[in-house]
């Protein structure tokens, strides 16, 4: 009895040990599946709402480059709202990366990829040396037997200078081959002896790790179907093909084994897209690292990761709080890509100190407002002097190809700053149709259906109101709950503003005020109201399609003056020039009457994320609300590009 008891205990212990070993092995397997996942880049894949918009999954590979000098090189790939980076090459003038990334292509989604090359010989900052852009849909549609092409790398300061070349490869995966490839990669995780064959025990571990009880009950049946000769093992290719077929009939996974996100098995397209893109993050191959918003952020490398961990800097989509954001990231409507606005760090710190604290605003109230006025007037005089012309070549953040006159034409810096563009440089969407409103300036745009929404997502000043913005004599009852569109101009922008609608100028009224900065850090301040306290000019435009539209040109720090090229009583056409800001950045605000305009959905959705949209003069803004409800005519001629 005693021995019997010991034997039972021993067998029980052995069984428990085996069970524990299996459990431990299963835990290790799950850990391996999650080991390489990068939460920022894989846990929120974009969902396709319309299967008809699916163009394929592109496999883009950055192969190698030829540069003008030797260094350690890093390549970044920006596509849509994601940016990826390669490893850093050894010291060479011909870096080889062979780094690949799979990208979801949509017919109406982002398809312009930007490749940036950085030299990494400095510890704290990497230098952008060259870049190129590639339209993936056009690249894949070209008549060529080769998937590869060598592209010129352009100088970021002047696009007419070539600084190197890069070889890229791009192809579209067949959905069936994508599924088989996915199955091969995931099965390789449980091929413990790496012989290319799986035993039933290895396959069983994989199915159990999925946590799908239905699949667990069928694993023996599936395995036997693949084991044609009955020797207890199957080849990787045979099992991969069988799994791909089974996944089409009845998916084996209810959740992603990499990021853990629950998958809707009924939505086969999104299911396949998610697994394909997500699993690539953990393959251990030369897959580019993700989790970045812009190429500048990606180029920081470990320094960025360290600062993020230490809360020294804060990168996020949108600017929810001016006091916590060290960088401004905006969405480029033309390229459908996130870009970073360059602001000197010292200026950011000083703006925070002034506009994000009661103490800072208290200083403004005790004389600094007059100081801002004095500085702006002094700077205006300086920019109008002949000596200021020497600073024109240093201002290299613009596209000179669009400028109407050569640089030697400008006798002062301010003449250059208010430069005109060549005819046709800014196409006007649906020029012959007054029922399509357009963007008024090259700017960063925020659009809201109502003032309440603007206060919730962007303007944090406690006392902001349409009445305060327009003034009591210009603010009719229709504007009170109307739609608001904010066009913020940065110093590097084209500084002439244009009419968003066609109609007649009823009145132009000057409202005196301060010259606060219009940077989002100030706009997001809860201690001051930039838009209602700054010097501004309010124009009321009467239109047939949109009712009355209030057009507000707001002065700001360093803006010496606002000049108008039209006057009261003039009949105007959308897209025509209305005026310009002298040196500095500033803002135009358009207020539409309640229920007068249906603003484009992409502009509203970005604004609801506190994300500014980078737009150009003439891009489509919206249509009359009544027209949007009854259905739109053909708008194919409307253009979005610069």
Total count of residues recorded for the chain = 642
Name the active-site residue from 274, 483, 498, 502: 498
Name the active-site residue from 442, 483, 582, 616: 442
Residue 481 annotated among the catalytic residues of the structure:
no
Nearest-CA neighbor of 466 among 327, 591, 319? 591
What gap in Å lies between CA 263 and CA 42, rounded to an integer?
13
- Give the DSSP letter of residue 287: B
What gap in Å lies between CA 284 and CA 281, rounded to an integer?
8
The CB-side HSE value for 233 (13 A sphere, CA atoms) comes to 10
Check if the beta carbon of residue 119 is closer than 8 Å to that of residue 108.
no
DSSP notation for 70-106 = -B-EEEEEEETTEEEE-PPPPSBSS-EEEEEEEEEEE
Check if the beta carbon of residue 65 is closer than 8 Å to that of residue 166.
yes
Q: Which two three-digit tokens encode residue 235? A: 């080849």
Residue 586 annotated among the catalytic residues of the structure:
yes
Locate tokens 């021993």: which residue?
10
Can you name the residues that pair with 563 across neighbouring β-strands?
580
Q: What is the dihedral of CA 382, 386, 391, 392, to 10 degrees?
A: 120
**Dihedral sign, CA of 375, 345, 163, 91?**
positive
Q: What is residue 615's three-state secondary structure?
A: strand
What gap in Å lies between CA 514 and CA 581, rounded to an integer?
16
How many C-beta atoms surround the C-beta of residue 630 within 10 A?
Answer: 7
Nearest-CA neighbor of 110 among 53, 154, 150? 53
The alpha-helical segments, DSSP class H, found in 250-386 are: 268-279, 295-299, 302-309, 345-355, 358-363, 369-383
Check if the beta carbon of residue 207 is closer than 8 Å to that of residue 219.
yes
Q: Which two three-digit tokens encode residue 352? A: 């925070």
Which residues have a Cβ under 8 Å from the Cβ of 319 and sit 6 or more positions away? 325, 328, 329, 520, 524, 610, 611, 612
Residue 195 annotated among the catalytic residues of the structure:
no
Nearest-CA neighbor of 64 among 173, 153, 159? 153
What gap in Å lies between CA 589 and CA 445, rounded to an integer?
10
- Give the DSSP letter of residue 46: P
Nearest-CA neighbor of 498 among 420, 568, 569, 556? 420
Give buried/exposed letters for 486-508 (b at 16+ CB in 10 A, else e). Answer: bbbbbbebbbbbbbbbbbebeeb
Name the active-site residue from 586, 607, 610, 616: 586
Phi, psi of 401 (to 5 degrees): -65, -25
Catalytic residues, by residue number, are 442, 498, 586
């Amino acid at each position: 009895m005693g021995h019997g008891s010991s034997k039972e205990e021993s067998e029980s212990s052995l069984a428990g040990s085996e069970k524990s070993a299996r459990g431990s092995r299963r835990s290790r397997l799950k850990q391996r599946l999650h080991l390489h996942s990068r939460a920022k880049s894989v846990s929120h894949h974009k969902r396709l709402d319309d299967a008809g918009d699916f163009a394929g999954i592109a496999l883009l590979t950055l192969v190698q480059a030829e540069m003008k000098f030797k260094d350690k090189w890093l390549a970044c790939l920006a596509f849509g709202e994601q940016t990826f980076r390669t490893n850093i090459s050894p010291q060479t003038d011909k870096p080889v990366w062979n780094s690949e990334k799979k990208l979801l292509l949509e017919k109406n989604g982002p398809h312009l990829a930007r490749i940036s090359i950085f030299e990494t010989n400095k510890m704290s900052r990497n230098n952008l040396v060259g870049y190129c852009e590639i339209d993936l849909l056009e690249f894949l549609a070209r008549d060529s037997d080769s998937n590869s092409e060598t592209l010129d790398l352009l100088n970021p300061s002047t696009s007419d200078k070539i600084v190197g070349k890069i070889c890229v490869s791009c192809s579209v995966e067949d959905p069936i081959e994508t599924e088989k490839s996915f199955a091969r990669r995931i099965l390789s995780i449980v091929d413990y002896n790496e012989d290319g064959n799986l035993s039933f025990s290895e396959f069983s571990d994989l199915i159990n790790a999925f946590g799908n009880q239905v699949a667990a009950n069928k694993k023996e049946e599936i395995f036997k179907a693949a084991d044609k000769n009955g020797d207890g093992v199957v080849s990787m290719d045979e099992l991969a093909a069988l799994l791909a077929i089974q996944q089409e009939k009845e998916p084996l996974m209810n959740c992603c084994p990499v990021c853990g996100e629950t998958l809707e098995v009924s939505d086969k397209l999104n299911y396949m897209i998610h697994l394909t893109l997500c699993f690539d993050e953990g393959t251990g191959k030369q897959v580019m690292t993700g989790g970045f918003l812009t190429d500048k952020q990606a180029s920081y490398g470990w320094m960025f990761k360290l600062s993020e961990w230490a809360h020294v800097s804060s990168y996020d989509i949108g600017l929810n709080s001016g006091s916590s954001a060290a960088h401004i990231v905006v969405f480029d409507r033309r390229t459908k890509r996130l870009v970073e606005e360059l602001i000197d760090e010292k200026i950011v710190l000083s703006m925070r100190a002034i506009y994000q604290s009661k103490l800072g605003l208290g200083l403004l109230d005790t004389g600094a407002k007059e100081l801002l006025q004095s500085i702006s007037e002094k700077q205006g005089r300086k920019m109008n002097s002949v000596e200021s012309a020497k600073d024109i070549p240093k201002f290299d953040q613009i596209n000179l190809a669009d400028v109407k006159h050569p640089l030697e034409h400008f006798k002062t810096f301010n003449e250059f700053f208010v430069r005109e563009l060549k005819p046709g440089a800014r196409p006007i969407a649906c020029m012959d149709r007054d029922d399509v409103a357009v963007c008024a300036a090259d700017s960063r745009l925020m659009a809201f259906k109502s003032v309440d929404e603007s206060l919730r997502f962007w303007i944090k000043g406690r006392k902001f109101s349409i009445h305060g913005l327009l003034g009591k004599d210009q603010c009719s009852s229709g504007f009170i709950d109307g739609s608001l569109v904010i066009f913020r101009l940065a110093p590097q922008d084209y500084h002439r503003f244009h009419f968003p609608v066609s109609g007649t100028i009823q009145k132009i009224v000057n409202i005196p005020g301060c010259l606060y900065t219009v940077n989002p850090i100030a706009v997001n301040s809860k201690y001051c109201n930039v838009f209602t306290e700054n010097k501004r000019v309010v124009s009321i435009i009467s239109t047939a399609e949109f009712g009355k539209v209030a057009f507000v040109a707001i002065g700001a720090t360093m803006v010496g003056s606002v000049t108008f090229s039209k006057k009261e009583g003039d009949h105007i056409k959308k897209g025509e020039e209305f005026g310009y800001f002298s040196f500095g950045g500033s803002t135009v605000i358009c207020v539409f009457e309640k229920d007068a305009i249906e603003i484009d959905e992409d502009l509203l959705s970005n604004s609801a994320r506190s994300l500014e949209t980078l737009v150009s003069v003439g891009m489509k803004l919206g249509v009359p609300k009544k027209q949007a409800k009854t259905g739109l005519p053909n708008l194919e001629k409307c253009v979005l590009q610069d």
